Amino acid sequence: MTGTVTGGLLTPRAARLAAELEAWGRRTVTLDELWTLYARADPASATRASRRTDLAAAVAALTAAGVLTPSKATDRTAAPPLPVRLTLPPPAASVSASQLARQVPWRPELAWAASSRLTVGQVGLLQAVNAWLRDRGRGTDVVPTRERSLELFGYEKTLDAILGTTLFGAGRLSLDLLRTFRAHPPLPVRTISDGHVLLVVENADTFDTLRRVLSSTAGHAVGQIAWGAGGAFEASVLSIAELTTVCDIAYFGDLDADGLRIPASAARTAAEERLPAVRPAHGLYRLLLSHGVPQSGQPSVDTKAVGPLVAWLGTEVAAPAEALLTAGMRIPQEALTGTVLDTDRTWLWDLA
């Protein structure tokens, strides 16, 4: 597929680049930044001899579609020349997108696209879905989202990026329509006892330390301990549905922005899926605050943004955590070594 426009419509490659540009956070894009966006939009291009020619064709097509305005200055270190800078229009549905949408012979399932406010990139992505529905719409296969995304768009992460957009919703795209589902990663779990508490730990070293300490400690209710693997827990929390003996989920992570965002997000997912609530391991957080040495060098969290981050911790720990984050500080959970955990056993109070 060397062309970029077919019958007046964007090819999937150009559509993916349009979507990347429309999600760009600034109005200008340098040539180096354009190459980065193109690598995301068309990963297979990395080893293709026509890579520069394909990008030049995509830029020309998107210029014609109103997605961008190329600079007059060009880079001529190789052929064909490429603009050294692109200027993007304000984020809004464009007239050219509406015109493009009206040219497409939409399948009945996508008829809404002809009269919807869409961007050029969205129209292009829907074209790929339209072709798939035409050719494969009556199939019976159901596959994970990244497999379907690669089939539809040539890039396995495109569906992840658009699931939360207006392309999905009642009467629009759905996972059922695309015969796909969001596969959740497994949650690494080790059994400690027959207790009812699942303790999830953000980082691998602290997971190992707590596993060893709990294995040699009596009088607690932790039946299983899991490694959250950082941000992976936002998705792997769904695996807890398979742990039928768990009725209490306690989480312990770093005291920093990501360390609080992860369990808060997982808690929302657990609530939506009617899993046991993901709560803070209060004793461990209290011990971390009393024994950990705050580290500087973190971006200061805005006072408006810090409230939702620390709310998950509850009133007991929220105030000191808020002061930590707004000061641009953090405390890594690795401060709780085996020696600390053995010396001060107060952290077990809410795990009993």
Q: Which of 81, 103, 109, 91 is nearest to 10 (CA)?
A: 103
Q: Are 333 and 201 in contact (CB under 8 A)?
A: yes
Angle at 300 (CA atoms; ends 234, 312), nearest 5 degrees:
35
Q: Please give the structure tokens belonging to residue 330.
A: 């953090």
Sorted by sequence, the CB contacts under 8 Å of residue 93 that are 6+ apart come out as 117, 118, 119
- What's residue 335's pLDDT? 96
Burial of 23 (0-12, 13-18, 19+ CB in 10 A): middle
- What's residue 94's pLDDT? 56
CA–CA separation, 334 and 304 (whole Å): 28
Give Cα 112 distance to the centre of its chain: 27
Burial of 288 (0-12, 13-18, 19+ CB in 10 A): buried
- What's residue 92's pLDDT? 56
Residue with tokens 């009642």: 170
Helix (H, G, I), strand (E, B) or coil at 294: coil
CA–CA separation, 200 and 123 (whole Å): 42
In tens digits, the chain (352 residues) has pLDDT values of 334 444 456 777 888 888 888 888 889 999 999 999 998 888 877 788 999 999 999 999 898 888 889 999 999 999 999 999 999 887 655 557 788 888 899 999 999 999 998 888 899 899 999 999 999 988 999 999 999 999 998 888 889 889 889 999 999 999 999 999 988 888 999 999 999 999 999 999 999 999 999 999 988 999 999 999 999 999 999 999 999 889 999 999 999 999 999 999 999 999 999 999 999 999 999 999 999 999 988 888 888 888 988 999 988 899 999 999 999 999 999 999 999 999 999 999 999 8
Q: Please give the structure tokens belonging to residue 1.
A: 């597929």
pTM: 0.63
